[in-house]
Structures are given as C-alpha cells and as structure tokens.
Structure 1
C-alpha cells in the first residue's frame, strides 16, 4: 500500500494497533525494518512530533521543483492552504537505513527549542516520501548572504546555538555554514541534525556509525581509526564555521581537493589561514577573535574551549 499517515495506517491495519504502545514513558526501539507509519506514530507519542501528512495532502498537487538537493533528500518550498510558507525536506530514497536515520534526526531535532535552532513543525509523507517540515527561511543558508553582509556580530549566535544543544546532551556532528540558515530578521538558526547523537530517553535506535562530518570542518581526531563525534569536535567545527562567516569562504580554501584536507589536518596538524588584522581594525577580526579561533582548532581536543566559554568571550561583540 502507499505510504500513509499513521492514523490511516492503523485504520487499514486495526490488528496492529494493539501491538503498538501509546505510553510515552515506555522505551521503544526503531530499526531499519520499522514501517514508516509506525515511525510516525512513535515520533508523535514519544517526541510530540506532529504528523502533518493529511495537511500536506491538501497542498495543490503538481510536479514541485526542488530548491536544494543533497545525496539523500530534496528540499521544496511549499505554500500551505493557510498561506504559510514551509520547507519540506523529503527523503528521496526508500532505503530502510535512511528512514531510520531520518527518524533519529527527527527525534533529536524535536527536543531542541531555541531561537538559534531551526524549528521543526512536524513530519509527514509528501508525494510518497518521508518528509520533515520546517519554516521557510527567506535567505537560505548563511553562505548565500555572507558576501553581501559579512558581520562578526553573528559569531555569538553560532556559539549560542552550539552551547544550547550541548546543554541538551546533543552533539551535532556536522556544523558548517551550509547548516546555518537565516530568517527574515537576520537571525541565524542551526539546522540539519542528520548526524546528531544524544542519549534518547524513550526512543532507541539500532547502531549507527558515530563518525562522519564534512572534511573541511572535521577535527583531526575524526580522521583516526575510531572516530567519535564529540562536543570537542563540534567546537572545532564551530571555529571553522566562524571563519566562514568572517571570510565568506570555506576553510582551507587554498587546498582545492576536499580529501586532501584530512591529511593536512591529521598528519601535518595544519590550521586554516586566518585574515590578517588591518591597522584600523577594518577586517572586523580583533585579537581576541583571532586567538579564539586558534583555541577552537587545538589539535588536542581536551585543550579546546567549551561552547559556553566561547559564548562568554564573544558576547561583547553583540553589545559593542
């Protein structure tokens, strides 16, 4: 049968309703074989994620055009019947492993409520694909506006988001400019929790590789034999992302091949080139920020600052 909302699924299969717990305090397990409607049901019960399938079904049909693509998903800009514009991230492939990863991302994302974290409105099925629904961000990723409006006052906003998720026992795992979006008011919001990990209380997921990330933002320890995402690796990537915001360019821009960055970082212990301070301070990079970036990039993860420390050091940029 076509993928449907959890409500429609249980109407069609009433015998399964008795086997699915509705107790929010009961630990439930999701693996690659869990049917999508049951995944939606679990997310609704245990993570309070709204199943918006029936709302999405009322959107005027027609071949939508993706505004962004990744290796696994397409992102669409959709106007709902109440004229609200939303972004719908659709899982393109129906590989069960990808469904499980998306369910994990949704479970973690749903717990994060902060002005610098992109809001999750709900989940559903859109044109036959598992989809995540979030507010439409007018300016897209921060990279699309950096060259127009470079501003070091945005740096504390990045640190605030990372400090918040770390306090919530969440490790992002893929912090970079492409995963920061900007709303119409110019507020930065952290997005894409596809590699995030946390200690789930009531939803358990079968084993997933704990490594990963994007090469130019990855800490040196993530290139080792036993890579583990960590707060310290997030702080390293946060420093790289701050460099993006300052320069409007990717880290290690002088290294053309992304795979070569791993050798430079892990073997040669290189850090990116940082803009020189202008005599009149026009570069916007004062001595404190310059030193802070290098602190975030320490080779030894135990020598890096916490996100909370970065927030406290950057706060004067907002007030100044």
Structure 2
C-alpha cells in the first residue's frame, strides 16, 4: 500500500503530465519520425533514421520545448481554464504555479542544450521558438485572429526543424504543411467558440467575443473551404499513394463539420467539432506511411 505522501507525489506527477499534455507530445514525436521516413528522406531505411543522433536531438528538443510551452500557456490561462475546464483545472492545480515556472525554465534550458548538440543554427532556431511560444502566451493570444494564426504556426514550427535538417524543401512539403496549418487553424477557431464563457470572463479579445459567433463561423467555413481546395490540389498534383483515401475522408469530415457548425450553439456541440478536427489531424499522422505502401509491404515480407 502506498503512503499518503507517495500517493500525493503520483497525483502531482499525473497532474504535471496533464499540464504538459504528454499524449499530444507523443503524437508530435511520432509524426516527426514518420514525416522523416516517408516524406523527407524516403530513400533512407528505418534504422538509419532511428539511429540518427542529430534527428533524435531535434525531436527531443522539440518535445521538451513544446512541453515547456504547454506549462507557460497553462500558467497564463489558469483563471480562464478554471471556468472552461473546471475538472482538468483542479487536477492541474495540484502542482503549484511556482513549481510550474521552475519546470518551465528547466525544460527550456534542456531544449536549447539538446539543440546545441546538433548545431549553433539549431540552438538559435529553438531559442527563437521558445521565445515565440512565450510571446504568444503572454501577449498575442489575446489578440483576435493574430493569436489564432500564431498558435497554428507555432504548432507546425517543430516540423520545419526537421525539414531544414534534411534540406528537403520540395513544394509538396509546403503543401502538406499548409494542409496541416489550416486544420490546426480551424481547430483554434472552434476552441474560441468552445471557450467563449471563460474568454468573456477574463477579457480575452477572441473573434467570437469581439465580433460574434457568426463572424467566427464564417472564418471557420472559409478556412475549411481553403483546406478542401489544398487537399484537392495535393491529390491531383502529387503522388500521395494510398494516403489519398485519407484525404478523401478528410474532405468528407470537413464538409460534415461545416454543416454541423451552423447548427451548433452549445459547448458540447463545439467540443464535438473540436474532436472531429483532432481526429482528422491524428489519423493523418498515422496515415503518413500510406504515402509509400511498398516500404511497409517489403518490411512485412522480410519478417515473414
């Protein structure tokens, strides 16, 4: 049996995991490795990529910086989250604000230290990324539209570290990045609708607060339409292998989301739309290997 002190320690550990959203970071790490294998360096083998210490350093630096970003975001949004997510907020509060800040600075130091192992440019890149996350959390987040754009851009920034490392700047990379950016931007717009109660209480100048839900829904519709056009362009202009079926499904879900959007007016309905967007993003990560199904089949054959 665990003592009360031991139980409290594990509760706090779980609370910190909740604050840094470890499950999201794991998805990003998987996405970076899959992107490296199937998009950025398709000619390299699995073991070459896994054993690449510089790639590992970039992935770890990204993961640690993102974890620090979630902490500082949680620090600034503590009061708002207490209104919008009371249960999660109570769990997060098991860790004191002082501990969160100490952990935030420690993680940032670890991130740039790991990045410096790769190169001085990587050190500068992650230093700028860390500053960008802090500036967004401290200032930009409360500015309508600019805050949404910045959040979506910061979410895809770690992938550019991998793009630059491999020196693969083919146009298809940017089209994939544009598709992901638009999905994240739509999710950010939906989160503003979902969290409007807390934003109003804490004077966050989000799009629904400043201009109303109708304008916000219009921006979501516009972003979804652009995302669909980007998807069609991607399918028709590039070889997407069997991943094209994922893109077909994404188009269907985006259309479904827009249709549901105009009937939505409660937090549970917006949460449903939020989860649909999250599903599209996460399923997209695990669909990346479908870009080159021959690699998977060859590896299965070898095992058998």
Fold conserved (TM > 0.5)?
Answer: no
Greater helix proportion: 2
TM-score w.r.t. the length of structure 2 is 0.30
Greater strand proportion: 1
